[in-house]
Amino acid sequence: MKVQLAQRHALITGGGTGIGRALAFALAQHGARVTVTGRRSELLQAVAQAIIERGEPAQAISADVTDAAQRNAMLTQAVASFGEIEILISNAGALHGGSFAQHSAQEIEALIRLHLNAPMELVRSLHPHLKAIVLVSSQAAQIPVPHFALYCATKAGLSAFATALRYELDDTHVLLAAPPGTRTPMIEPFLHLPEAKHFPLLEAEFVAERIVKALAAGRREVAFHPLYDFPVRFYRWFPGLLTRALHWQRHRFARLFERQ
């Protein structure tokens, strides 16, 4: 079933940069009233102002979605200004790389709160009025990436959450977006390294366009590009072959982090 975007209030977490920023512009172009939220107020304000200058409704509300008080205050303000939130885009994320054994307990807890707890709490708070939920996971949830175990695990949990929700929320469409590597500020610290040339990246605007197109069409998952989607199918068909390749790649990833 197709999802109406026009005249609906869409909340986008992590809306100041990268995929979230691009999603804000794409949804506004489809007629949605857009609220962008995140921790960096100046970036959020710039996104909202640019959308408003195009003649489309938008607002920016800074909040740390992992903090219950800030999250609830943000939701109250968003609803007071634009009405009930009907489309939730849970996009906020962080990339923690390196040997898993070197992660602190605080780092582990923080990423679980951001990638799992916050989306779950937002869905729990908003579901009576939601017409659609978009959970932005990652291709890393489907194909393990050496030295990104924490990121892979939390994104895999988010993907499982999306799949299970489909069987619970009869009147709410749930779209899982698991984009491959995308050029965003989150990965900029790695782009100058020689190893980065082996990992082609999509542009955030292209990824956002594909997500919004899939949402409007009422699809359950997003197809991004045959070249980038193929590794997931290959891993499903021939896990043994890719496992050997990943064992070889782990040394490349290890060198990458040694140079940080």
Q: Indicate which residues carry an active-site annotation.
A: 151
Measured CA to CA, the distance from residue 156 to residue 144 in angstroms comes to 10
Helix (H) or strand (E) holding 41: helix 41-53
Length of the chain: 260
Cα angle vertex 140, ends 137, 142, to 5°?
Answer: 90
Rounded to 10 degrees, the C-alpha dihedral 95/99/104/107 comes to 10
3-class DSSP state of 107? helix
Question: What Cα–Cα distance (Å) separates residue 3 from each residue in 28, 82, 120, 123, 130?
Answer: 15, 19, 21, 18, 11
From CA 135, how far away is CA 130, in angstroms rounded?
13
- List beta partners, residue 23: none
β-bridge partners, 9:
33
Among 17, 11, 67, 72, residue whose Cα is nearest residue 40: 17
